[in-house]
Amino acid sequence: MGLGDVERDADSDAFDDLLAYIESSLSFATSSYNRSYLDRRVSARMRRRHVEEYDAYQRLLREEADEREALLNALSVNVTSFFRNPDVWDGLRELLAELSDAGRVRIWSAACSDGREAYSAAMLALGDDRIDHRRVEILGTDIKPEILRVARRGEYRASETNDLEEQLEPLAHSDRYVERDGDAYRVTDEVRDLVSFRRHDLVQEEPPQTFDLVICRNLFIYINTEAKEAIFETLGSAVRPGGYLTIGMTETVPSSCRDRFEAVEKRLRIYRDTGAKQPSTARR
């Protein structure tokens, strides 16, 4: 073993130690996330604070509450938008019309971030005559309580998310759903009435109930294979047989679940639950 290998091992031990500290003391489940993703985020904070070693950075975290908060913000990726990937929402509109024919429609926006995904579903339901919005119920969940507070308020600032106007373009009459007051864009009560929010951890918890459509997008890109399988297990028991699941446009269904979810629109990542049993992975 050369000197370089010894240094790399020591570095890797210090990184593991740092991740264990973040998991136990900062309550961020590092063990569910992709290691290189975590390293990129932590290293960016270290550069910012001019710290070169993981153990020195851990000491800094222990000493400074502000750095602990800054790191948690850097680790959580809450990027979202209204009607993210508009083509997907065209596909979902058709699905909702079909589901609405059969009666009540229960939708779960899982890992909903600040709620814009859940509100997009509500706006679709309100804007299409084929959909009886009085029978649509939408639940938005996320692991982060602070982001859920934003979701419940349903108010977004153009200065913080500068392309809000563009995000709302898929709507024919966005004024009906969003009130503008200077910089603030507030989702109207009619839209908010269709949606409720609660905290839920997709890795550790059972689904809240069963749904006709589960939307779980742009979370798998950050997490490791083990957590991905645990989440698919949660999603598998959340979609009713014959119901639908949609995931992010750059994400894939793990091979262990391919019998369970057949593609309805492969490009848009919209799948139907076939009811086939999925091999069980132990929930952590």
Ligand X SMILES: C[S@@+](CC[C@H](N)C(=O)[O-])C[C@H]1O[C@@H](n2cnc3c(N)ncnc32)[C@H](O)[C@@H]1O
Name the residue nearer to ligand X (CB basis): 207 or 248: 248
Is 144 a binder of ligand X (CB under 6 A)?
yes
| Distance separating alpha carbons of residues 11 and 124, to the nearest angstrom | 50
Is 111 a binder of ligand X (CB under 6 A)?
yes
Binding residue for ligand X (CB under 6 A) from 137, 142, 212, 233? 142
Is 152 a binder of ligand X (CB under 6 A)?
no
Is 246 a binder of ligand X (CB under 6 A)?
no
Binding residue for ligand X (CB under 6 A) from 96, 219, 238, 257? 219
- Is the distance from CB of 126 to CB of 193 less than 8 angstroms? no
- Least distance (Å) from ligand X to the CB of residue 80? 3
Interaction mask 68-97, ligand X, x per CB under 6 A: --------xxxxx---x-------------
Is 151 a binder of ligand X (CB under 6 A)?
no
Name the residue nearer to ligand X (CB basis): 106 or 116: 116
219: nearest Cα among 68, 4, 11, 37: 37
Query: What long-range pairs does 148-151 form, CB within 8 A, spacing at least 24?
Result: 148/115, 148/197, 148/198, 148/199, 150/114, 150/115, 151/112, 151/113, 151/114, 151/115, 151/118, 151/197
27: nearest Cα among 89, 78, 76, 100: 76
Name the residue nearer to ligand X (CB basis): 51 or 244: 244
Name the residue nearer to ligand X (CB basis): 113 or 174: 113
- Amino acid 228 reads K
Is 203 a binder of ligand X (CB under 6 A)?
yes
- Least distance (Å) from ligand X to the CB of residue 244? 16
Write out the residues near ligand X by the rule CB under 6 A.
76-80, 84, 111-113, 117, 142-144, 147, 201-203, 217-219, 248
